[in-house]
Amino acid sequence: MRTSIVLSAEAAKEIERENAEIARGLKAQDPELLDRLIETYQHRLMRYLMFLTNKREVAEDLFQEVWIRVLRRGSQYNGKARFDTWIFTIARNLVIDLSRKRTMASLDEMREGGEDDRPFEIAEEGPSPLDQFQYRENAQEVATVLLTLEPSYREVLTLRFHEEMSLEEIASVTRAPLSTVKSRLYRGLAALKPELLKLRSQRKSTLEAAEGRL
């Protein structure tokens, strides 16, 4: 994971150039470009879908559908937004469509009550809260615990810290007000640690029981 979510001016210009190149290639329906995009984004996209659906088979089906949409609707991408923001928006909309077809609640509704839109202030400088957290915690354990969180919290944490999107980009993908994104981010972080402690306690008990049988 990169050490900073804040991009330098030079890096931002490079991303703009890449986005413009992708937009031109999609409009021309360049098959080689699509292959490169799949190779570049397949792991990130699959991880995001796994965290949203918590089911590999469903995630794999949606993964294929995302690229079909990219192929069919590539001309709609104008290069002004980051390509990953655009493709993650497509993925999220497909998850919501699938949920509605299965008479489930939408992603925004698949959470417990009690969340409000009170803003949370986030420091823009220095290591992020989850950066500091993951320096001390096992990454695999954090990934396991993320799957136990409410979908709306899990999604924001994944986009912020795995995909390193800005809060504004997350708001664009999720179509939520910035204050709601901040709320979900900090409530998600608050829910993460006790669940991690619970997981470790369970694993410790299992290990002690196994050692006791030796």
One-letter amino acid at 8 equals S
- Domain residue spans in the chain? 9-109, 129-212
**Whole-number pLDDT of residue 65:** 93
Burial class (CB in 10 A: 0-12, 13-18, 19+), 49: buried
Whether 122 contacts 76, CB under 8 Å: no
For the stretch 24-35, pLDDT in tens is 999 998 888 988
**Whole-number pLDDT of residue 122:** 36
Domain 9-109 and domain 129-212 have a common topology: no
Residue ranges of E strands in the chain: none
Collect the ranges in the chain with pLDDT lower than 70.
1-7, 102-139, 214
Class of the 129-212 domain? Answer: mainly alpha
**Whole-number pLDDT of residue 210:** 73
One-letter amino acid at 173 equals V
* Angle in degrees, CA 138, 141, 145, rounded to 5: 140
Q: How far apart are CA 111 and CA 151, in angstroms?
A: 7
The architecture CATH gives domain 9-109: Orthogonal Bundle (1.10)
Q: How far apart are CA 95 and CA 59, in angstroms?
A: 9
**Whole-number pLDDT of residue 20:** 93
Single pTM value for the model: 0.64
Q: CA of 138: how far to CAs of 44, 115, 155, in Å? A: 20, 28, 20
**Whole-number pLDDT of residue 118:** 39
**Whole-number pLDDT of residue 127:** 45
**Whole-number pLDDT of residue 107:** 56
Q: How far apart are CA 86 and CA 78, in angstroms?
A: 10
Q: How far apart are CA 170 and CA 48, in angstroms?
A: 13
Whether 23 contacts 79, CB under 8 Å: yes
One-letter amino acid at 34 equals L
Q: How far apart are CA 150 and CA 109, in angstroms?
A: 10
Whether 155 contacts 93, CB under 8 Å: no
Dihedral (CA of 59, 64, 69, 71) sign: positive
